[in-house]
């Protein structure tokens, strides 16, 4: 069976047509797309979109359909072993490196992603510059959802005035600012991005916030609370245990640690090759088992909260802001970047909508809270 016929049949099985009339259907511009998919899988799909080989009016709905219906498995059933190998092989590339998230290599994600330009992120994100999932339980806007997320985090951590808080992967300092202003705490934030530190220093210099360009593995201080929002995805499978040891070593005996991370439903060693190549060159999405093995014997899990569906709303709000402000920044980026960024935001939204990936907030203590921890929602 020819590659086009394989994919046409498989797509129809999940409700997607080639050159169809639905907004989630593929509009084909280059018939070589299907041979590329056989040889390069999801990497080829993304690269072909960036190069204009195909279009789709609603990419988020396209990805929702193919992920919720497990298109990859359907394609694999129709292909030969040679084609299966070509389709899956890019996912194994991560295992060819000893530790791609070593101290030496980790700054690459800051250079290639977070330092893309504050002009981009200030227009895409909310005013607090939160680049992680908002909490939409009682929120209707991105701004409110991110304020609600920061409030949720601070309440889960049971912050009190004069506490010392460590924010691992602090981003542009939004949570540090919120916690300092609303709870009277002192915050040390560590990031690998010079652009993020520059932004925080310019905007929050009058608050008790110390933002450092520093690897978390170099920390040797004690804090009442440790928090990490959306950074664990860059830690890497081989470093999960080190991260948990660092969190424990940095905590006072009665301290709390909150970990906010994207999570995978399946325990695997694979990373999507397109995301790894074009969006986040350093990183890995953990499963429940990965996290459990990492903290076992080091920390006590007090609470595990999943609100993964909220990331769909967050990504769609970012995409709306990105589109509305594109004319302001397009002189700094090209059309290929525009297609890449659009593909990134919408493919991820579709993945969260399909519940293919999750958002977890996990609270840890060192030895267990006497009398128990009271969960906050």
Catalytic residues: 348
With the CA atoms of 130, 116, 119 and 125 taken in that order, what torsion angle do they form, in degrees rounded to the nearest 10? Answer: -20
186 touches 211 (CB < 8 A): no
256 touches 364 (CB < 8 A): yes
* Distance (Å, whole) CA 173 – CA 197: 8
* Distance (Å, whole) CA 125 – CA 91: 30
Secondary structure string (H, E, C) spanning the chain: CCHHHHHHHHHHHCCCCECCCCCCCEEECCCCHHHHHHHHHHHHHHHHHHCCCEECCCHHHHHHHHHHCCHHHHHHHHCCHHHHHHHHHHHHHHHHCCCCCCCCCCHHHHHHHHCCCHHHHHHHCCCCCCCCCCCCCCCCCHHHHHHHHHHHHHHHHCCCCCCEEEEECCCCCHHHHHHHHHHCCEEEEEECCHHHHHHHHHHHCCCCEEEEECCHHHCCCCEEEEEEECCHHHCCHHHHHHHHHHHHHHEEEEEEEEEEEEEECCCCCCCCHHHHHHCCCCCCCCEHHHHHHHHCCCCEEEEEEECCHHHHHHHHHHHHHHHHCHHHHHHHCCHHHHHHHHHHHHHHHHHHHCCCEEEEEEEEECCCCCCCCCCCC
* Distance (Å, whole) CA 178 – CA 172: 12
Does the CA dihedral 51-56-59-65 come out positive or negative? negative
């Amino acid at each position: 069976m020819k590659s086009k016929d394989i994919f046409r049949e498989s797509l129809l099985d999940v409700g997607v047509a080639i050159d169809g009339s639905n907004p989630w259907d593929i509009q084909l511009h280059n018939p070589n797309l299907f041979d590329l998919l056989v040889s390069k899988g999801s990497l080829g799909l993304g690269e072909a979109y960036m190069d204009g080989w195909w279009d789709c009016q609603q990419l988020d709905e396209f990805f929702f359909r193919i992920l919720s219906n497990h298109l990859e498995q359907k394609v694999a059933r129709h292909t030969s072993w040679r084609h299966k190998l070509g389709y899956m092989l890019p996912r194994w590339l991560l295992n060819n490196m000893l530790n791609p998230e070593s101290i030496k290599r980790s700054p690459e994600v800051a250079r290639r992603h977070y330092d893309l330009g504050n002009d981009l992120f200030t227009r895409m994100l909310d005013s607090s510059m939160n680049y992680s999932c908002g909490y939409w339980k009682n929120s209707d806007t991105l701004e409110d959802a991110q304020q609600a997320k920061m409030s949720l985090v601070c309440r889960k951590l049971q912050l009190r005035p004069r506490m010392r808080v460590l924010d691992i992967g602090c981003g542009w300092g939004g949570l540090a600012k919120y916690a300092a202003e609303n709870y009277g705490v002192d915050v040390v934030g560590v990031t690998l991005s010079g652009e993020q530190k520059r932004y925080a220093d310019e905007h929050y210099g009058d608050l008790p916030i110390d933002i450092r360009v520093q690897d978390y593995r170099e920390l040797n201080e004690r804090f009442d609370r440790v928090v990490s929002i959306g950074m664990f995805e860059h830690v890497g499978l081989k470093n999960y245990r080190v991260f948990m040891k660092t969190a424990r070593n940095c905590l006072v005996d009665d301290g709390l640690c909150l970990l906010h991370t994207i999570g995978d439903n399946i325990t695997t060693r694979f990373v999507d090759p397109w995301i790894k190549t074009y969006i986040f060159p350093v990183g890995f999405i953990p499963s429940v088992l990965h996290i459990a093995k990492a903290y076992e014997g080091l920390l006590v899990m007090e609470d595990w909260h999943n609100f993964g569906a909220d990331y769909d709303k967050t990504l769609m709000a970012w995409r709306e802001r990105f589109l509305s402000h594109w004319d302001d920044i397009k002189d700094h980026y090209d059309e290929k970047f525009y297609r890449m960024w659009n593909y990134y935001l919408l493919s991820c939204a579709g993945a969260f909508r399909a519940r293919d990936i999750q958002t977890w907030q996990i609270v840890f203590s060192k030895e267990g809270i006497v009398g128990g921890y009271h969960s906050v929602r």
